[in-house]
Chain A
Amino acid sequence: DAGVTQSPTHLIKTRGQQVTLRCSPKSGHDTVSWYQQALGQGPQFIFQYYEEEERQRGNFPDRFSGHQFPNYSSELNVNALLLGDSALYLCASSLDRTDTQYFGPGTRLTVL
């Protein structure tokens, strides 16, 4: 049984560009959450998706958007990239919003 997978592993972009990160949840999980982790900091909650809808959102600007597909996989899109968007982006899936979250390996985004 595959766990949570994310792609790509690493990504380098320049300021102003747009990026799409992808996440496939653990088999049987229908809830996907996205987190941003800056170097040396704890992860920060971006948003959570369930049944193809954004159910909750953290304190992130509208440049950060997402989508969940019928197979529960999810995408995180970031527009107009800033240097400060450089971070490790983590996806986590769970059976239910309050259940244990299983994390993917993350996508390391570098904005130059």
Chain B
Amino acid sequence: KNEVEQSPQNLTAQEGEFITINCSYSVGISALHWLQQHPGGGIVSLFMLSSGKKKHGRLIATINIQEKHSSLHITASHPRDSAVYICAAGGSQGNLIFGKGTKLSVKP
């Protein structure tokens, strides 16, 4: 079993839909990271959170430390949100353990 599991692996949505991507982890963490990777490889850090909830624009990330679970929500999805979204568990030493990613495709 992987230390960081994401679901779903693939997600297709219509423009405007509310999207949720889930992440479960089995390791101790200092922080949970959500990242976005576009075709070609570039990775952008979206959120780093250790408790509660963070919001940035149409993106919301939540974490439940007791249940070792985090979710990334996208409100009013848009085709430009199409990308791979990756969850990563951040250890106390700073190393990141990544999930395999969720490939999101938003259709106009």
Contact = CB atoms under 8 A, between A and B. Distances in A.
A103 B86 contact: no
Interface stretch (B11-19, B64-72, B73-81, B95-103): B95-103
B96 A45 contact: yes
A33 interface: yes
Contacts of A58: 95
Contacts of A103: 35, 42-45
Say what secondary structure dominates the interface of chain B. Answer: strand
Interface string B81-108: 0000010101011111111110000000
A66 interface: no
Interface string A69-112: 00000000000000000001010101011111111011010000
Chain A interface size, as a band, is 20 to 34
B31 interface: yes
Given A41-B100, A42-B100, A42-B101, A48 B45 contact: no
Interface in A28-78: 31, 33, 35, 37, 40-45, 48, 55-56, 58
Given A55-B94, A90-B41, A106-B42, 19 more contacts: A41-B100, A42-B98, A42-B100, A43-B43, A45-B95, A45-B96, A45-B97, A48-B94, A56-B93, A56-B94, A88-B41, A92-B43, A94-B94, A98-B31, A98-B92, A100-B48, A101-B96, A102-B45, A105-B41
27 contacts: A31-B94, A33-B95, A33-B96, A41-B100, A42-B4, A42-B86, A42-B98, A42-B100, A42-B101, A43-B43, A43-B98, A45-B95, A48-B94, A48-B95, A55-B93, A55-B94, A58-B95, A88-B41, A90-B43, A98-B92, A100-B33, A101-B33, A103-B43, A103-B44, A105-B40, A105-B41, A105-B42
Interface of A: 31, 33, 35, 37, 40-45, 48, 55-56, 58, 88, 90, 92, 94, 96-103, 105-106, 108
